[in-house]
Amino acid sequence: MVQFISAIALVVPCYEAAKSFYVDKLGFVLIEDTVLSDTKRWVIVAPNETAQTRLLLAKADAEAQLSAIGNQTGGRVFLFLETHDFEADMRKMTAAGVKFLENPRHENYGKVVVFEDPFVNKWDLIQKHK
């Protein structure tokens, strides 16, 4: 039996703002946007169409969910975006207005920089050593 993580729920305050950031600024692909009810949608984005792991943009609908936006990991980096062209992706993201929290650094595993989305979720952009 083959298994993999197909989606990670990312709690956001607004579907449109989240789609705008992930699709327009990060260059992710909108995989699906299906209306489920008057208040819920199934919104899936991914770095590319063939990515096995995708983000489910889940609109907060309760106070506990609203308070978790941007702090789903207690202040740690939440998500890791791996690239094969760190410099090009960082230039593209900078031009799109993505907020970086530090300068790029070299670690034992590769080159990395922390950025955040508009909801204050921390991400690592990583290019692993070859």
pLDDT on residue 51: 94
Q: Where a domain ends, among 27, 45, 69? A: 69
Provide the number of structural domains found in the chain: 2
Q: Where a domain ends, among 25, 47, 69? A: 69
Distance, in Å, from the CA atom of 124 to the CA atom of 122, rounded to the nearest integer, reads 7
The reply to whether 78 and 62 lie within a common domain is no
Q: Where a domain ends, among 52, 69, 86? A: 69
The reply to whether 59 and 82 lie within a common domain is no
The reply to whether 99 and 84 lie within a common domain is yes
The reply to whether 2 and 57 lie within a common domain is yes
The reply to whether 64 and 6 lie within a common domain is yes
pLDDT on residue 1: 84
Q: What pLDDT tens digit does each residue of the chain (130 aa) get?
A: 889 999 999 999 999 999 999 999 999 999 999 999 999 999 999 999 999 999 999 999 999 999 999 998 998 999 999 999 999 999 999 999 999 999 999 999 999 999 999 999 999 999 999 7
Stretch (H or E) spanning 54: strand 54-59
Quote the tokens at residue 86: 């760190």
pLDDT on residue 100: 98
Distance, in Å, from the CA atom of 130 to the CA atom of 124, rounded to the nearest integer, reads 18
Q: Which CATH number belongs to the domain containing residue 47 in this structure? A: 3.10.180.10
The reply to whether 110 and 50 lie within a common domain is no
pLDDT on residue 103: 98
The reply to whether 124 and 90 lie within a common domain is yes
Distance, in Å, from the CA atom of 69 to the CA atom of 63, rounded to the nearest integer, reads 10
Residue 65 belongs to what domain range? Answer: 1-69
The reply to whether 53 and 81 lie within a common domain is no
pLDDT on residue 130: 77
> Does the predicted model carry a pTM greater than 0.85?
yes
Distance, in Å, from the CA atom of 66 to the CA atom of 2, rounded to the nearest integer, reads 35
pLDDT on residue 52: 93
